[in-house]
Amino acid sequence: MNINNKHASSFRDPSGYVFTDEGVLKRVIFPIYFKQYQKLTQSGFFESLFDNKLLIPHTEISKTDTEILIQPKFIPFIIYPYEWSFNMYKEAALLTLKLQKYSIENGFSLKDASAFNITFLEGKAVFIDTLSFDFYQENSPWRAYKQFITHFFGPLVLARYHGAQSLKIMSNFIDGIPIKMIASMLPFKTKLNPFLYTNIHLLAKFEDKHNEDYKGETKAASLSRKGQLNIIESLYDFIKNLSLKEHSEWGNYYNKTNYVDEAFNLKSDIINQWILNLKADTLIDVGGNDGTFVRKIDKKLKHALVCDIDNNAIDFNYKQIKEKKEIFITPFVLDVLNPSASIGFQNTERDSFLNRIITFSPDVTLALAIIHHMSLSGNVAFDMSAQFFASFSKHLIIEFPKRNDSWVQRLLNSKVDFKDHFDFYNIENFEKTYLKYFDLIEKQHIHNSERIMYLLKVK
Amino acid sequence: MNLLYFDPGLGAMVIQAIVAAVAGVILFSKNLMYKIKVFLGITKLHEEEMVDNIEIKDQD
């Protein structure tokens, strides 16, 4: 076994570790976890979770006295908690509770409840940490309870009061938002709610109080099975009914754009034709809003990533995925001007967006109606955006709104005195710069609009 | 308790008895209210929702 390929995030749990073997992800299990693994396998527990699509399926590759090797199903693109929309986050939280309830009923218990144990595959939240299941010990409290609160419950309640954007706070707290901080950020009225009071405010107080018990003098706590199930079921009920207070700014974006229907259809026809010509199987739509244009593509895609800065747009996309039971779209929240960084120990535990997208290497990138935001709101020069788009996929379909487009005008006008600084924003400069990095395959004007579509190929 | 590789929080372990008691009361009263509402015809049984319920189906 080549331990050098050990995944950077796989060091906390002594039960085993994850590594890549010629690009394939595999998991080693140590003897310390053999008993659990065998029981989970033989009792049909794993099988039941595979069938319900709640746990990532794996196959056993080899088995010796010193280690068992398993290979989990391949996930083409991992998305992290700080990239989930509100309802995706909810689903991940509910999945964790569901698994814990099922575990307890079958004599197991989740030994951790990290949000990073979950990602999304084929339109569903899926649990990916196969070794998280341990034996349940009668009358012991749930040791991952606090982790569940700081990874799931806290962030979700904060999102209710502060908007879905607050879910991004998780990118700064790899082991959950500190409970004291969650408590301090919630409005006073949450103290009057017995459920929120006990699960957050009182928990924060207790943690504070027992913080200084270095000698471990506090006697071991006990909790009946029924008691633990009460906690889990009440959390499930509460989270299931949790909703946001805010409304989407972009949710009905397509109703208020400057497109006339004809231009909108024309644009999607052009994209459709180009995708067909390219025979693309995978793509990323950067700034893809709720996935409208991806859904209009007739070619059957293997995998489409749709990202947008707006959590609500991603949420709307996710709701459609659920309704239509689509399995090929992975939606996620991403600010293209500040994409997710590499975080964790040695900055390697959770990969940056750029590393992940380079590995994913989509056949084509869609950048529709985003260049003016990047250039004018973000002050990103054409040179920089071209380099960015050229770094991870072979083809780029990019839409360029001309200077007299109403959105561009609006953005320019908001610059007031600084407006002259943006004289560079015109077709000539755009083409000259982008064609340094790309070859032009095709170019089409969208009639009845001030916009041009380009199909480019990386040089 | 073996394989404990992160701090579960001492307070968090102790508090669970209280949390469970409060949760028990909440669940009981909600259930009661639900039954009353169904009885009075205010709520319908089994409404379709985006989220499943907590149960996982066992395989035969």
Strand, coil or helix: A288: coil
Of B14, B51, B59, the CB nearest to A221: B14
pLDDT tens-digit map of A266-276: 999 999 999 99
Contact A82, A172 (CB under 8 A): no
Strand, coil or helix: A225: helix
Does the structure show a pLDDT above 50 at A328? Answer: yes
Sign (positive or negative) of CA dihedral A157, A202, A171, A84:
negative
Place B41 in a pLDDT band, splitting at 50, 70 and 90: confident
- Amino acid (1-letter code) at residue B46: H
Structure-model confidence comparison of residues A210 and B16, the more confident one: B16
pLDDT tens-digit map of A3-46: 557 887 777 888 999 988 888 899 999 999 999 999 999 999 99
**Average pLDDT of the residues in A188-193:** 96
Residue A343 has phi, psi (to 5 degrees) of -130, 175
DSSP string, A64-92: -SS-EEEEEPP-S----GGG--HHHHHHH
Maximum C-alpha span of chain A: 76
Number of neighbours of residue B38 by Cβ within 10 angstroms: 12
Instruction: Please state, in angstroms and rounded to a whole number, the distance separating the CA atoms of residues A236 and A229.
Output: 10
Alpha helix ranges (H) inside A241-381: 261-278, 292-295, 311-324, 353-360, 371-372
Tell me the shortest Cα–Cα distance from B52 to chain A, in angstroms.
Answer: 9
**Average pLDDT of the residues in A63-67:** 93
- Nearest CA among A106, A185, A118 for reference residue A152: A118
Tell me the chain B residues in contact with residue A51 when contact means C-beta distances shorter than 8 Å: 59
Q: Which pLDDT score, from 0 to 100, does residue A261 have?
A: 78
Do the chains contact at B22 and A194, CB–CB below 8 Å? Answer: yes
> Counting one residue from A and one from B, how many pairs have CB atoms under 8 Å apart?
147
- Written as six digits, the tokens of B21 are 């008691």
- Written as six digits, the tokens of A391 are 């770094």
- Amino acid (1-letter code) at residue A127: F
Place A421 in a pLDDT band, splitting at 50, 70 and 90: confident
| pLDDT above 90: percentage of residues in chain A | 79
The structure's pTM equals 0.92
Instruction: Please state, in angstroms and rounded to a whole number, the distance separating the CA atoms of residues A70 and A27.
Output: 5
Tell me the chain B residues in contact with residue A123 when contact means C-beta distances shorter than 8 Å: none
Q: Which pLDDT score, from 0 to 100, does residue B2 have?
A: 42
Instruction: Please state, in angstroms and rounded to a whole number, the distance separating the CA atoms of residues A149 and A152.
Output: 6
Q: Which pLDDT score, from 0 to 100, does residue A13 have?
A: 85
Measured CA angle at A244 (ends A241, A247), to 5 deg? 140
Burial of A212 by CB count in 10 Å (0-12 exposed, 13-18 middle, 19+ buried)? exposed
Structure-model confidence comparison of residues B33 and A355, the more confident one: A355
- Nearest CA among A168, A169, A171, A175 for reference residue A341: A171
Tell me the chain A residues in contact with residue B22 when contact means C-beta distances shorter than 8 Å: 194-195, 198
Do the chains contact at B23 and A231, CB–CB below 8 Å? Answer: yes
Nearest 10 degrees: Cα torsion A38, A40, A41, A47: -170
Question: At the fourth CATH level, which superfamily is domain A253-458?
Answer: Vaccinia Virus protein VP39 (3.40.50.150)
**Average pLDDT of the residues in A274-301:** 94
Structure-model confidence comparison of residues B3 and A130, the more confident one: A130
Do the chains contact at B27 and A199, CB–CB below 8 Å? Answer: no
Residue A15, sorted as left (phi over 0), alpha (psi -120 to 50) or beta, turns out to be alpha
Q: Which pLDDT score, from 0 to 100, does residue B49 have?
A: 58
Instruction: Please state, in angstroms and rounded to a whole number, the distance separating the CA atoms of residues B49 and B58.
Output: 21
Does the structure show a pLDDT above 80 at A126? Answer: yes
**Average pLDDT of the residues in A46-56:** 95
Of A112, A220, A221, the CB nearest to B6: A112
Of B11, B16, B59, the CB nearest to A210: B11
Q: Which pLDDT score, from 0 to 100, does residue B1 have?
A: 39
- Report chain B's mean pLDDT, rounded to a whole number: 76
Q: Quick check: A31 contacting B, CB < 8 Å?
A: no
Q: Which pLDDT score, from 0 to 100, does residue B13 have?
A: 87
Nearby residues of A31 by Cβ (< 8 Å), 6 or more positions away: A65, A66, A67
- Report chain A's mean pLDDT, rounded to a whole number: 91
pLDDT tens-digit map of A338-387: 999 999 988 888 999 999 999 999 999 999 989 999 999 899 999 999 99
Tell me the chain A residues in contact with residue B17 when contact means C-beta distances shorter than 8 Å: 141, 221-223, 227
Q: Which pLDDT score, from 0 to 100, does residue A255 have?
A: 55
Do the chains contact at B19 and A87, CB–CB below 8 Å? Answer: no
Tell me the chain B residues in contact with residue A223 when contact means C-beta distances shorter than 8 Å: 16-17, 20
* CA A360 from centroid of its chain's CA atoms: 15
Q: Which pLDDT score, from 0 to 100, does residue B30 have?
A: 87
Strand, coil or helix: A19: strand
Q: Quick check: B45 contacting A, CB < 8 Å?
A: no
Q: Which of residues 1-40 of B touch A (CB under 8 A)?
A: 1-6, 8-27, 30
Strand, coil or helix: A426: coil
Query: Measured between alpha carbons, how far is residue A87 from residues A92, A112, A125, A455, B1 in Å?
Result: 9, 22, 11, 34, 34
Q: Which pLDDT score, from 0 to 100, does residue A340 have?
A: 95
- Neighbouring-strand partners of residue A425: none
Q: Which pLDDT score, from 0 to 100, does residue B3 have?
A: 43
Strand, coil or helix: A231: helix
**Average pLDDT of the residues in A118-131:** 96
Strand, coil or helix: A282: strand
pLDDT tens-digit map of A397-409: 999 999 989 889 9
Q: Which pLDDT score, from 0 to 100, does residue A27 have?
A: 94
ipTM of the complex as predicted = 0.77
Report the residue of A231, A319, A320 to disrupt the B interface, i.e. the one with the largest count of B CBs within 10 Å. A231
Tell me the chain A residues in contact with residue B18 when contact means C-beta distances shorter than 8 Å: 198, 202
- Nearest CA among A54, A43, A57 for reference residue A100: A54
Q: Which pLDDT score, from 0 to 100, does residue A229 have?
A: 95
Instruction: Please state, in angstroms and rounded to a whole number, the distance separating the CA atoms of residues A250 and A310.
Output: 7
pLDDT tens-digit map of A66-115: 999 999 999 999 999 999 999 999 999 999 999 999 999 999 999 999 99
Do the chains contact at B27 and A230, CB–CB below 8 Å? Answer: yes
Q: Which pLDDT score, from 0 to 100, does residue A100 have?
A: 97
Q: Which pLDDT score, from 0 to 100, does residue A429 have?
A: 95
Do the chains contact at A208 and B5, CB–CB below 8 Å? Answer: no
Nearby residues of A53 by Cβ (< 8 Å), 6 or more positions away: A122, A124, A126
Of B14, B22, B57, the CB nearest to A206: B14
* CA A157 from centroid of its chain's CA atoms: 18
Of A13, A52, A236, the CB nearest to B54: A236
Place A248 in a pLDDT band, splitting at 50, 70 and 90: low
